Amino acid sequence: MLETLPQAIVTGVLLGGLYAIIGIGMSLIFGIMKLTNIAHGDIMILGTFLTMHITQSLTGNPIIGLLLTIAIMLAFAFAIQNFLINKVITKGAEPALLVTFGLSIIISNALFLVFGANTHTIPSTLVTTNLIRTAHVSVSMMYAVSFIVAVAVIVALSLVMNRTSFGRAIRAASSDTVMSELLGINTKHMYIFAMMLTVVTASIAGMLVGMTFPFYPTTGTQYLIIAFGVVVIGGMGSLLGTLVGGIILGLAQLVGANLIGATYQQLIGFIVLLVILAVRPQGLLSKAARK
């Protein structure tokens, strides 16, 4: 066990990067709209299936497939936010939550009807390539790429939110809706842009997940749970907290599996989640805590 511990630590950290990019969209939506998006996992898997289908049918290149998927998902994000969520977002948390729950069911069933119940993957040579390989530690190219992409996305989002007038408008809309409206900011338009940012990150996460793990139409629920765990650990609405939460969850699962057994991998991860919630209910880097 101790001989394989360094490998578990390295893989856990890198897996945490993938977990972070899975959860970042959920954190973003909660931070801006105070909405827990139950459909987040299914939206991500929708992006995964679109990338797979476009790559196999049209381009043969997953990057081009991802770009075309993002274009489709942006239109989808506009539609669901403008015509569904924005209609109920001012009526309290429950109606919007129910809308996202309904979206989750619709997306997973539509994927099942179109693609069937079979398991799918997005073929990639990155999965079988090692960036580093020594006697005790090997670094998967796929996991390394996922971690680098997660960091890049988080840095890019942080710059957009903190250094641009667009980002400041979104943050203003999330902080005080009434004052923002008085200053001429259309908060519902800001919510549409926020949902568009979310589906972009979800599409990127979906491609990385599809290259790393097998997936099927109902996999969204599994990744919703991971995303929820990541953002709760890091702090709802905190971009940096999402990365920290992903690394903690990834380490807990892989190190725990190494020391206790792979059967308990998921259980150990969520025991750590419960412990952190007991000690710091607002999350490690929540905005509420900094205030």
Domain CATH number, residue 100: 1.10.3470
Measured in whole angstroms, the distance separating CA 1 from the mean position of its chain's CA atoms is: 31
Would you state the structure tokens that stand for residue 7, as one six-digit string? Answer: 């490998």
**CB count in 10 Å sphere of residue 43:** 30
User: Is 109's pLDDT higher than 60?
Assistant: yes
- Half-sphere CA count of 10, side-chain side, radius 13 A: 18
Collect all residues with Cβ–Cβ distance below 8 Å to 174 and sequence separation of at least 6: 31, 32, 33, 34, 190
**Cα–Cα nearest to 108, from 220, 227, 222, 224:** 220
Q: What is the pLDDT of residue 289?
A: 40
Domain that holds residue 232: 5-290
The encoded tokens of residue 160 equal: 């957009």
Burial class (CB in 10 A: 0-12, 13-18, 19+), 94: exposed
The string of pLDDT tens digits covering residues 59-83 is 888 999 999 999 999 999 999 999 9
Please state the pTM of the whole predicted model.
0.92
Judge whether 242 and 40 are in contact, CB under 8 Å.
no
pLDDT surpassing 60 at residue 290? no
Nearest to 211 by CA among 108, 109, 110, 141: 141
Q: Calculate ∠ Cα 12-15-18, nearest 5°.
A: 155
Over residues 223-278, the pLDDT tens digits come to: 999 999 999 998 887 889 999 999 999 999 999 888 888 888 888 888 988 898 88
Chain centroid offset of residue 143 CA: 15
- Which of 48-52, 117-121, 190-194, 239-243 is the most confident on average? 48-52
Number of independent structural domains in the chain:
1
DSSP label of 120: B
- Distance set, CA 265 to CA 35, 245, 271 (Å): 29, 16, 10
